[in-house]
Structure 1
Amino acid sequence: MDSSVSAAIDIDHLQVSYGSQRVLQGVSLSVAPGEFIAILGSSGCGKTTLLRTIAGFQKASEGAIRLFGRDVVNTPPEKRGMAMMFQSYALWPHMTVLGNVGYGLRLRGVPKDEIRRRVDAVLKMLNLSGLAERKVTQLSGGQRQRVALGRALAIEPEILLLDEPLSNLDAKVRIQLRSEIKALQNRLGFTAIHVTHDREEAMTMADRIVVMDAGRIAQVGTPKDVYDHPNSPFVASFMGAENTLSLDVRPSGSGVEVRAHDSIMASYGGDVPVGSVTAYFRDDVASLDDPQARVDGSIILPGKIAQRTYPGGHYRYVVAIGDRHFTVTDERYHEVDRQVGLRLPLASLHLFPNAPSTGGTHA
């Protein structure tokens, strides 16, 4: 952002405490108009507290929240010009679909015929036409969440906040609604902040991902950037690179020599930290090779197949290397107990120094 005025949401050193416990540790984030942001993190990281504080349901201890340049940190929720979708739907069970979707409009004193017109337009957009007079208790989970989305969109908010709204739905409906919400956001142009613990949901819906850890922002970037270039062991692990391997990286000629388990070496000309490092990697970067093979730019660790399953389309193998086990997918059939090499391309590993390195990086 060039300035806070050009931002739909500008959060500046926001702190929130519950009693003596600080939950948000000085969070700063700018969100552009029309941008879709996903806040990703495990339970207790502060992501829902951040969303509730933006909405006005939680009071900030310090810092500012500016919406289109206007500081709203002390403004009540109903005067912030935003709508919120909840995990629990939060619908009125005694009301019809029409009553629920038009609820916010009624609170704002919109005339009855105008409410009906806007609700019908929203229901058509959400494929709920014909259900206006139905009680929400007669609807499926997916339909109820569409009603909750319709209630949020009916007031034509500039900003929509989503608090894990899809987590109670079954997998098929969840994937369908992800696509529908994203399509509506593109069509209507509202700014969205979506809190989720589901990595795939964040990756498929967001323009940028905000990974949170212990009340702080650990990394912000496009889904591809955060997935391919995590900036810390925490982010690497959270984005699925949960396998770890200790390596020793030493300068060698124009590149580096990488040692694993004291015996396996690979020459590599990429930019990597030098010294004792830990490699983080996802299952899908590993492959099976001959245990004696030598491949430029890859480490090959000898081991044996401990387990084989067939989930469909490929085989999934568990490879035992010493007392460690790694999962690998491969289209070929291999016998259990077969000696194999676990092949790891260095370019696909996320390498982090185990201690401050005096050697820096080697290009």
Structure 2
Amino acid sequence: MMTVTNSGSAAIDIDHLKVDYGSNRVLHGVNLSVAPGEFIAILGSSGCGKTTLLRTIAGFQKASAGAIRLFGRDVVDMPPEKRGMAMMFQSYALWPHMTVLGNVGYGLRLRGVSKDEIRKRVADVLRMLNLSGLEDRKVTNLSGGQRQRVALGRALAIEPHILLLDEPLSNLDAKVRLQLRSEIKSLQNRLGFTAIHVTHDREEAMTMADRIVVMDAGHIAQMGTPKEVFDHPVSPFVASFMGAENTLDLDVRSSGPGIEVKAEQGQAVHWNGDVPVGAVTAYFRDDVASLDDPNAAIDGSIVLPGTITQRTYPGGHYRYVVAIGDRHFTVTDDDYHELDRPVGLRLPLASLHLFPSEQSQGGFHA
């Protein structure tokens, strides 16, 4: 199989792309540039527009306005088969009456490749996917993981420069999903094709992608490396979507050379951080918080007095629910603690995502 060579222009350049379903606008002027050989994950909840964006790139959905350029060529009005890309679907989309050979070689047969060459190229693909020897087996006699490998093989057999993946792993069990996640990324590194992968699974996006695109209501809310988006969300929506689902209202005031941070409960804390002054909402993940003495005074952290109301053990650590007034917060902690025990919920200020409270209207509250 040939390795894709990088060209000077972007592999995919999406310029002010708009898509309407009747009178309903689904994509609102999306801009996205993908470099040759880059792996992009488009992440978002149901209805955010991520699948519509993928289908429009593929040519299955008509754009209402804007451009889609593939290696500099505008394809927005071209049919799917003229765009030179392959797509891997959530539902496998295999021909049930065909063998593995027939399915993997289907795109090659449509392109007029000879039978001998098809068998040779299919054998090469199946070897890469650890499916050698299954050429003559019906796909209905394969496991779910094997069927998805066949679907991947069919996409790769035509040696595409661009591979589009529409939540292809969501129907598989956890173990097979992890294996295929690794195999797809490994093949992409080896063969050098450009990939856009749509998923609602945050961990899948984080572990596979060079860059993540988080979508919300037909807009790109943020894009960046997994670490950038995870550690530095630009909005309450992105913070919550990336796992910072606990929220806490704080009051921030100037105090000498720094600031003073005060929650409704607990002591005010002086800090030298650079955060907005006034009413802010803090977003934080449960692994950022920890349990401490309710009367502890810790530099750079606020400590809120509360009570443990729930304890579970998901493996490797305990997960607690801590009640503070009428609010409840989830916390992970390595140590075992008794229920109904008074504790201090310790929150390092540097690990909180702080936004002016007016930005946080409508956000998730624990």
Shift of 1:308: 1.9
> In structure 2, which of residues 97, 107, 112 is the aligned counterpart of residue 109 of structure 1?
112
Aligned: 1:203 with 2:206: yes
> In structure 2, which of residues 296, 309, 334 is the aligned counterpart of residue 293 of structure 1?
296
2:250 — aligned with what? 247
SS at the partner of 1:168? coil
Number of paired residues?
A: 353
Contact kept, 8 Å, 1:5 with 1:69, in 2: the verdict is no
2:286 — aligned with what? 283
> In structure 2, which of residues 130, 150, 153 is the aligned counterpart of residue 150 of structure 1?
153
SS at the partner of 2:268? strand
Aligned: 1:161 with 2:164: yes
Q: 1:272 to 1:305 in 2, by over 3 A?
A: same
In 1, the alpha carbon distance for the partners of 2:339 and 2:80 equals: 60
Letter in 1 for 2:122: V
Shift of 1:312: 2.9
Aligned: 1:187 with 2:190: yes
Aligned: 1:22 with 2:61: no
Contact kept, 8 Å, 2:266 with 2:303, in 1: the verdict is no
> In structure 1, which of residues 74, 78, 86 is the aligned counterpart of residue 77 of structure 2?
74
Aligned: 1:55 with 2:65: no
1:361 — aligned with what? none
In 2, the alpha carbon distance for the partners of 1:355 and 1:238 equals: 18
Shift of 1:316: 2.0
RMSD after superposition: 1.1
Letter in 2 for 1:74: D
In 1, the alpha carbon distance for the partners of 2:172 and 2:315 equals: 25
176-185 or 269-278, larger mean C-alpha shift: 269-278
In 2, the alpha carbon distance for the partners of 1:66 and 1:240 equals: 34
SS at the partner of 2:177? helix
Identity of aligned residues (%): 85
In 1, the alpha carbon distance for the partners of 2:313 and 2:165 equals: 37
Letter in 2 for 1:285: V
Contact kept, 8 Å, 1:314 with 1:329, in 2: the verdict is yes
Structure 1 residues 161-202: Cα deviation after superposition (integer angstroms, max 9, x where no partner): 000000000011001100000000000000000000000000
Aligned: 1:320 with 2:307: no
Unaligned runs of 5+ in 2: 1-6, 360-366
Aligned: 1:349 with 2:352: yes
Unaligned runs of 5+ in 1: 357-363
Structure 1 residues 312-343: Cα deviation after superposition (integer angstroms, max 9, x where no partner): 33222211101111121222222211111000
TM-score, normalised with respect to structure 2: 0.95
2:131 — aligned with what? 128
> In structure 1, which of residues 173, 176, 184 is the aligned counterpart of residue 176 of structure 2?
173
1:141 — aligned with what? 144
